Amino acid sequence: MKSSLLYEQDILLWVEDTVAKLKARDFDNLDLENLIEEVESLGISQRKE
C-alpha cells in the first residue's frame, strides 16, 4: 500500500511504517509530504506547551 494512502486510512500503522523505513534508511519510499506535516505539527504543539 502506498504510504500516503496508508496515512489517510490508518495513521498508527503509517507511523510504524515510517519509523521502519527511517531505521532502514529507505528514504526513497518515505511519505515525505505527510512526514514533514507531522513533524511541523509536533513542533508547533510543543511550542504551545
Per-residue pLDDT tens over the stretch 9-22? 999 999 999 999 99
Please count the other Cβ atoms lying within 10 Å of the Cβ belonging to residue 15: 14
pTM of the model: 0.84
Domain limits at 15? Answer: 3-48
How far apart (Å, rounded) are the C-alpha atoms in residues 40 and 24? 23
Write down the pLDDT at residue 3: 86
Please count the other Cβ atoms lying within 10 Å of the Cβ belonging to residue 23: 8
Write down the pLDDT at residue 22: 98
Selection from 45, 21, 43, 47 nearest residue 32 by Cα? 21
pLDDT bracket for residue 2 (50, 70, 90): confident
How far apart (Å, rounded) are the C-alpha atoms in residues 5 and 31? 9
Number of domains in the chain: 1
